[in-house]
Amino acid sequence: MTRAITLHDVSKSYARGPRVVERLSLDIAPGEFLVLLGPSGCGKSTVLRMIAGLEDIDEGELLLDGEYANDWQPSERHIAMVFQNFALYPSMTSRDNIGFPLRIEAPGADPRPRVDATARMLGIEDLLDRFPSQLSGGERQRVAMGRAIARHPSAFLMDEPLSNLDAKLRNHLRAEISRLTRELGVTTVYVTHDQAEAMSLGDRVAVLRGGVLHQVGSPREVYALPRNVFVAAFIGTPRINLLRGLVRAPLDGAMTISLGKQYLRLPEPLCLDHRLLRVQQGREVIVGLRSEAVRIARHSAARPGEVPLTGLVEHMEFQGHETLVHFNTGSRPAVVPELEAPRPAARPARRRRREGPGMLDRLRERAGSLRAGPVVVLEDPADAAPDPAPPEGRLPGDLVVRTTPDIRLHHGMQVPLLVDLAHLFVFDQHGDRICPAPVRLPDLDE
């Protein structure tokens, strides 16, 4: 039996503090693999613990198979949880660790057949007589999984179960978890802050920020139609390029967005998007371009649906199978507070830094206090820059473009680029997506 899990307007705060989960609603279908994704502290574990019954729900409802379950005991829920730190009993062998919950649930019954069947499924038969201290991290995590699986739960809750493992093992176990949960057909809620993990595992991904659900959808949907700047920036590597632009009056039927001294001319066929953009005339917007939305056009003409832009090569990252070229287009990047990594202070400061906290500290502070507030900061970096202006008054690279590894470019080169309008996002000042227009596209419905 696998469970449907429904959260309806669920809120939670600790010790009368601020809400760490804010009116969260989610419908998780029986057998579905749902990933809760978000930065540290956004409330992922709290949501899992409320589903498991380890944490009270302040407001709202939890339904298990449609039944009101807020006050059910954890043991009545038939849900197994796997934690990040394997939590095995050190004095028990793997066999006893896996069999322990079975002995608690059915004291008279012999747990061995189930333990053996589970061990076969996980390929850990040879490890059953070892103690946790005699196991590697990956093996321990497999035993911990075994302990959850052997109970034949009606749902799995997994809280960053792979984050203590090295990258190779993580990939391996990730595939195993995916195979196992699908084979068992058990509803699974999986927590991670790793977007690549979320995208590769989830039937659907639910993106949380500051306790608020920002979007839930298939991996394809959250990547191709992010609802706002936060989701766009959180999902995908390299990170989406976010450039601050200004919407100009339409000219010859085309809307224009200025990016610094350059313009993006958006021709008529954007129709509904055009009407929405027209409302933004004279206002600042954020243009979102994934690294594959722009190509280098030194030897090729524009195809239909492409518009030109020029970039100055700032930096090249050779990655083997591809090269990421960092261009400077002269536009200003938008800041998504929680997602900004501190920049290395590579260049000496031109301006003396003011005393007191730097911009990142202030942004973090703001992000903390905003929680569910705006997802983007449009303050002028000139007055908050922790980093000095780069040499010759140029801004550092603001546009990363993915290209083939054999590309021949060098630092300081001026390169013609083409932007594929089919992959252009425009977000308003609050970070909400305007283009493509916020309607579901039929070919994205699976």
Ligand X SMILES: Nc1ncnc2c1ncn2[C@@H]1O[C@H](COP(=O)(O)OP(=O)(O)OP(=O)(O)O)[C@@H](O)[C@H]1O
Q: Residues 6 or more apart from 420 whose CB is under 8 A from it?
A: 293, 294, 295, 305, 306
Q: How far apart are CA 437 and CA 415, in angstroms?
A: 31
> Which of ligand X, Mg ion, none does 193 bind, CB closer than 5 to 8 A by kind?
ligand X
Cβ proximity to ligand X, 43 vs 219, nearer residue: 43
Cα–Cα distance measured from residue 252 to residue 397, given in angstroms and rounded to the nearest whole number: 32
For residue 210, the minimal CB distance to ligand X (Å) is: 9
Token digits for 409? 């470019």
Min CB(402)–ligand X separation in Å? 29
- Cβ proximity of 378 and 331 under 8 Å: no
User: Which part of the chain contacts Mg ion (CB under 5 A), choosing from 38-46, 93-101, 225-233, 415-423?
Assistant: 38-46
| Residue 67: CB atoms within 10 Å | 11
**Parallel/antiparallel/unpaired status of strands 399-403 and 332-333:** unpaired
CA distance 424 to 112: 57
Which one of Mg ion, ligand X, none is in contact with 43 (Cβ closer than 5 to 8 A by kind)?
ligand X
Q: Which of Mg ion, ligand X, none does residue 40 bind (CB under 5 to 8 Å by kind)?
A: ligand X
Which region among 45-53, 196-204, 217-225, 295-303 touches Mg ion (by CB under 5 A)? Answer: 45-53
3-state SS assignment for residue 394: coil
Pairing outcome for strands 433-435 and 424-427: antiparallel
Out of 2, 6, 45, 331, point to the residue binding Mg ion (CB under 5 A). Answer: 45
2 sits near Mg ion (criterion: CB under 5 A): no
Q: Is 256 helix (H, G, I), strand (E, B) or coil?
A: strand
The entry of Mg ion, ligand X, none near residue 214 (CB within 5 to 8 angstroms by kind) is none
Minimum distance from residue 192 beta carbon to ligand X (Å)? 8
User: Identity (one letter) of the amino acid at 420?
Assistant: D
Q: What CA–CA distance (Å, rounded) separates 167 from 174?
A: 10
User: How near is the Cβ of 162 to ligand X at its closest, in Å?
Assistant: 13
CB-nearer residue toward Mg ion: 20 or 149? 20
63 φ/ψ angles, rounded to the nearest 5 degrees:
-115, 130
CB of 40 to ligand X, least distance (A): 3
Among Mg ion, ligand X, none, the one that 296 touches (CB under a kind-dependent 5 to 8 A) is none
What is the rounded distance in angstroms from the CA atom of residue 197 to the CA atom of residue 94? 27
Least Å from the CB of residue 164 to Mg ion: 13
Residues forming the site for ligand X (CB under 6 A): 14-15, 20, 38, 40-46, 193
**Closest approach of Cβ 196 to ligand X, in Å?**
15
Residue 17 or 320 having the CB closest to ligand X: 17
Q: Pick from 216, 76, 83, 94: which is nearest to 154 by CA? A: 76
Taking a C-beta distance cutoff of 8 angstroms, is the pair 325, 416 a contact? Answer: no
- Residue 43 or 386: which CB sits closer to ligand X? 43
Closer Cβ to ligand X, 44 or 244, answer by number: 44
Nearer to ligand X, 16 or 261 (CB): 16
In the complex with ligand X, which residue's Cβ is closer, 56 or 126?
Answer: 56
Residues that bind Mg ion (CB under 5 A): 45
